[in-house]
Amino acid sequence: MEQFYTPRPEFLVVGLLLFSVSVHAQISIPSKQDGFWYKDRAAGIDSILIEAFLDPVCPDSRDAWPPLKQAFEFYGSRVSLVVYPFALPYHDNAFLCSRALHIVNKFNSSSPYKLLESFFGSQEEFYNQKTFNLSRASVVAYVAKFAANAVGNTLYDEIKAGFSDSTTDQATRYSFKYGCLKGVYGTPFFFVNGYPLPDAGSALSYKDWRGFIDPLVAEAEASRVEPSHYLL
Ligand SMILES: *[C@@H]1O[C@H](CO)[C@@H](O)[C@H](O)[C@H]1NC(C)=O
Ligand SMILES: *[C@@H]1O[C@H](CO)[C@@H](O)[C@H](O)[C@H]1NC(C)=O
């Protein structure tokens, strides 16, 4: 039988110190919540919250978007949706395109969605193979031009400059890190009221969304009418 090893107390103290130092060194907290609220409808205490981690150059994220939008429209004010760009490391231009979403967000909160839909519409242009022989600088210039076309051509210079602004780099890192903290490992990846949905990494259909959200809406309605029983 093996004997249990009891560490000497001074080792424990050193271990604890090292642990607390490393935790303090790693956590850097953004000054406000991350994410793009769809239609500027932030979550209220009674709303059902959908969080979506999407990679602008991921085909499954692209396919997931129309049914999610359709579900959002169906449920109206009962649902709030927040999207976080999540750049998968094996998509060469994912971080760049995600950064473009943060850049255009500075001009108008609806712009990230316009641009996201444009990326989804012309996604092949940003695939690894397509940009393999291009320099980083020319891909950045291309993405800036593409983004300006999507959200308003007058903004080209500002968008281009956004790629040299360290705050947009930081914002894109926060989105990625937030996903990592929540255990995101592929896209699309969804959470409802903070809980992960099954089938991560594949697109959910409108029917799937109804299957997840309908029972929650029904439950919420039931709990809302209940107090009146006590009043009778
Ligand atoms: C943002 O863009 C939307 C849609 O194009 C527009 O309706 C809205 O007025 C813009 N908001 C601002 C602050 O420019
Ligand atoms: C990249 O350039 C090389 C040399 O010109 C060419 O042989 C290759 O096919 C190109 N690759 C792609 C993916 O365009």
Write down all domains in the chain, each with its CATH number in brackets: 36-217 (3.40.30.10)
The more confident residue out of 198 and 10 is 198
| 220 CA from centroid of ligand 2 (Å) | 57
Is the pLDDT reported for residue 6 higher than 60?
no
Write down the pTM of the prediction.
0.85
pLDDT tens readout for residues 178-207? 999 999 999 999 999 999 998 888 899 999
Distance CA 227, CA 219 (A): 14
Ligand with minimal distance to 108 CA: 1
Distance CA 103, CA 175 (A): 13
Q: Which atom of ligand 2 sits closest to the CA of residue 133?
A: 1
Q: Which atom of ligand 2 sits closest to the CA of residue 130?
A: 13
| Ligand 2 pocket test, candidate residues 92, 130, 133, most atoms within 8 A of CB | 133
pLDDT tens readout for residues 199-230? 888 899 999 999 999 999 999 888 876 655 55
State mean pLDDT over 40-54: 94
Q: Is the dihedral of CA 104, 106, 107, 112 positive or negative?
A: positive
Confidence of residue 26 (pLDDT cuts 50, 70, 90): low
pLDDT of the residue at 11 = 52
